[in-house]
């Protein structure tokens, strides 16, 4: 006899920190260097050198606005919030430069019973499958980088109608690879909205979930590498 139980299920939405992971052009490279080891010192200790916006990370408004909140000023309530997923993976499969539209957001909105304020909206492009293939992840050619992002119109709608706390995506940037002015980043900063980039496993998420963002409280920080977790209900079968 099968008994169906709803239980909490955790999903890790972050990539492991590695020296081989993709880095934004011009950003400092990640270095993990052994300083002590058990055989010589009685304990293991590494020195970590990493940029604030390397790997899976949170970008604070201060990243694009001198008067914006720094990473240590973001409210704790915003780091534990309702998450909402917008799936654009079908569109990006045919167009690496696809930018999520208001229509994509409205399709998601139609499936929601209500829209909680201060939610964090994550866009699933499917791009995290290229994380270990750097050329494909950036999509670089003579015309620049090619990876999906979000239109300014969609971001404006989410900020002003949904009253969101943050935006996220499973690519290297919410503006997309072809952006020259990063206007979505700047718009979000001006409206006190943070962003999450280089997420993964968004395909495992349901429409809504609880989101936990483990960002470092770096004094005057513009961002932080972080561990991002989602919790949602899952049906388990017990025999």
Residues 19-31: tens digit of each pLDDT: 999 999 999 999 9
Segment 191-220 shows an average pLDDT of 98
Tell me the domains of the chain and their CATH numbers.
Answer: 3-17+52-238 (3.50.30.50)
Question: Do 149 and 185 meet the contact criterion of CB atoms below 8 Å apart?
Answer: no
Give phi and psi for 14, each to the nearest 5.
-115, 150
pLDDT at 236 (0 to 100) = 59
Give 68-82 pLDDT, tens digit per residue.
999 999 999 999 999
Predicted local distance difference test score (pLDDT) of residue 2? 44
Burial degree of 51 (CB within 10 A; 0-12, 13-18, 19+): middle
For residue 8, the model assigns a pLDDT of 83
């Amino acid at each position: 006899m099968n008994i169906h139980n709803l239980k909490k299920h955790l999903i890790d939405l972050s990539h492991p920190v590695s020296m081989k992971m993709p880095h934004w052009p011009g950003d400092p490279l990640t270095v993990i260097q052994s300083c002590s080891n058990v055989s010589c010192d009685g304990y293991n200790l590494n020195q970590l050198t990493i940029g604030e916006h390397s790997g899976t990370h949170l970008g604070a408004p201060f990243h694009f606005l001198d008067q914006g909140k720094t990473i240590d000023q973001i409210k704790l309530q915003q780091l534990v919030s309702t998450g909402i997923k917008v799936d654009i993976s079908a569109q990006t499969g045919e167009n690496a430069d696809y930018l999520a539209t208001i229509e994509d957001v409205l399709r998601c909105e139609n499936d929601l019973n209500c829209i909680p304020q201060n939610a964090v909206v994550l866009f699933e492009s499917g791009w995290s499958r290229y994380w270990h293939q750097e050329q494909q992840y950036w999509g670089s050619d003579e015309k620049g980088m090619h990876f999906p992002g979000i239109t300014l119109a969609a971001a404006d709608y989410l900020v002003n109608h949904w009253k969101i706390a943050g935006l996220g995506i499973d690519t290297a940037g919410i503006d997309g690879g072809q952006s020259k002015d990063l206007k979505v980043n700047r718009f979000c900063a001006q409206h006190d909205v943070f962003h999450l980039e280089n997420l993964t496993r968004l395909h495992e998420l349901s429409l809504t979930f609880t989101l936990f963002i483990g960002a470092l409280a770096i004094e005057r920080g513009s961002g932080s590498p972080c561990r991002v977790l989602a919790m949602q209900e899952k049906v388990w079968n017990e025999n």
